[in-house]
Amino acid sequence: MLKAICALALSKVLPAAFLKTSRDEVSPGTYEVDFLVRVFGSLKIGEDYEQSITSKVKPLDLWLATLDLLAPHITAALLRRISERAVSGNAGETIRQDATLKAGTEEALALVRSMTVSPCKGKITTKLHCEAVEATVYDPADTAVHIVP
């Protein structure tokens, strides 16, 4: 069994695009493989961190919560005006001009951000290379053994 750091390096050394094109080049079938690969270079793992993932708050839920709180004051005409502003790109114009409303909005957004903090694993950066040392592949379609240096 591979050590965790070796498995991680192996998973990072081959870019996803390479794996996709490799898969496209191989026909369906069962292949017997036996190969040695040399992986070398450096792998850096960053510290774990916390990140606010505001996309966890669904816009519709935020909109419905707002409407729920304002329900006693909402009329059909007000909803129409709100929708028109949202569609026209003028949403938030009053808030942007009013310092008190702007500060309140920023405070509310900070609260939303603080409620969506999630732990994240440190980023992995690599400068890795790989080369085939020796490979033997039995291809049932060719009924031949290919030795690739």
Ranges assigned E (strand) in 4-109: 32-45, 49-52
Query: Could you read off the pLDDT of 20-45 as tens digits, one per residue?
Result: 888 888 888 888 888 888 899 999 99
Query: Could you read off the pLDDT of 78-97 as tens digits, one per residue?
Result: 778 877 877 877 767 766 67
Element (H, E) at 139: strand 124-139
pLDDT for res 146 = 57
Q: For the chain, give every domain's residue range.
A: 25-48+122-149, 56-119
Q: State phi, psi for 76 to the nearest 5 degrees.
A: -60, -40
> How far apart are the C-alpha atoms of 2 and 6, rounded to whole Å?
6
Nearest to 137 by CA among 149, 126, 121, 148: 148
Amino acid type, 71: A
Beta bridge partners of 39: 130
